[in-house]
Amino acid sequence: MGLPFLPVRGLIGTDYLRIRPDFQIIKNPYGDDELVAIPAIKPDLLLMHAYKADRSGNVLTDKRESDPLLARAAEHVIATAEEIVPALEPEADKVIIPGIYIDAVVHLPGGAKPTACPGYYEIQDEEIRRYLQAARTPETFARYLEEFLA
Amino acid sequence: MPDKLIPLGKTRAFFQSGSTVAIGGQSVFLNPMGLIKELAKSGCNSLNLVASPVGGLGIDLLIGAGLVESVEFAQISLWEYGLAPNLRRYAESGRIKPREHA
């Protein structure tokens, strides 16, 4: 939308304004009440993984994800995809992010692992458990990272 | 139309220290782990992350790698696997700035 903020009702009187000092109380220009102005989130870059993409940068993702919204908010977008197809077609329960929002696509099957890519692979249960075990201490996590980044 | 297909190694041209990076997917679904690995290997740090708005494994990993300055989110969790351990450790010790939309 390109708006600098959106007014939100209901936060005044809560601890929200204490933990988010950047949220400003504003006066309703059409009435006597007050609202909270929530600043727009403008990422420089979005990293996302998609089901399919074509070379023009159109990508197919899950309709339950917020990636389409983030792609419009971000200055640049890189999407990895399970499949590169000649021309992307709409599919049930999935949404297409138009190529005008995407800077680059990368063919990377398995690019969401160990997280799930519904329809392609499930959550890599054993690997997530290994991550959690490693993350119990900074020392064991440092060793996990060394391996992950190798 | 321009050809936007690039090899994974070329993505590093987009990475910059101190930049605001949104991470797609949520909890343990559709996290862009391949790109997160490239980002972590690129040496960029002081990243300001944005969850989508439910962050998960990818964001927790970047925090645990010490590359994150702040993270904007509604929730970061690992779904049925529980809380995000690195987020918790770094937020509790004041090493990252959590920007909550809970």
Backbone torsions φ then ψ of B94, nearest 5 degrees: 75, 20
Mutating which of A49, A72, A139 best tests the B interface, going by the most B Cβ atoms within 10 A?
Answer: A49
The H or E element that residue B73 is part of is strand B68-73
Cα(B29)–Cα(B40) distance, integer angstroms: 20
| Residue matched to tokens 């994800």 | A65
Cα(B32)–Cα(A26) distance, integer angstroms: 38
Q: Which residues in chain B touch residue A74, judged by CB atoms under 8 angstroms apart?
A: 22
- Beta strand spans in chain A (E): 5-8, 24-27, 34-39, 45-53, 59-62, 76-84, 94-97, 104-107
Cα(B15)–Cα(B85) distance, integer angstroms: 25
What percent of chain B clears pLDDT 90, i.e. is strictly above it?
A: 93
Q: Which residues in chain B touch residue A131, judged by CB atoms under 8 angstroms apart?
A: 57, 61
Residues 77-96 of B with CB under 8 A from A: 78, 81-82, 85-86, 89
Q: CA-CA-CA-CA torsion for A48, A49, A55, A57, nearest 10 degrees?
A: -30
Mean pLDDT of B59-64: 98
Answer for the pair A60, A96: CB distance below 8 angstroms, yes or no: yes
Cα(A100)–Cα(B6) distance, integer angstroms: 16
How many other CB atoms are found less than 10 A from the CB of residue A8?
13
ipTM exceeding the 0.95 mark: yes
Note the pLDDT tens digit of each residue in A67-111.
999 999 999 999 999 999 999 999 999 999 999 999 999 999 999
* Cβ distance of A45 and B72 shorter than 8 Å: no
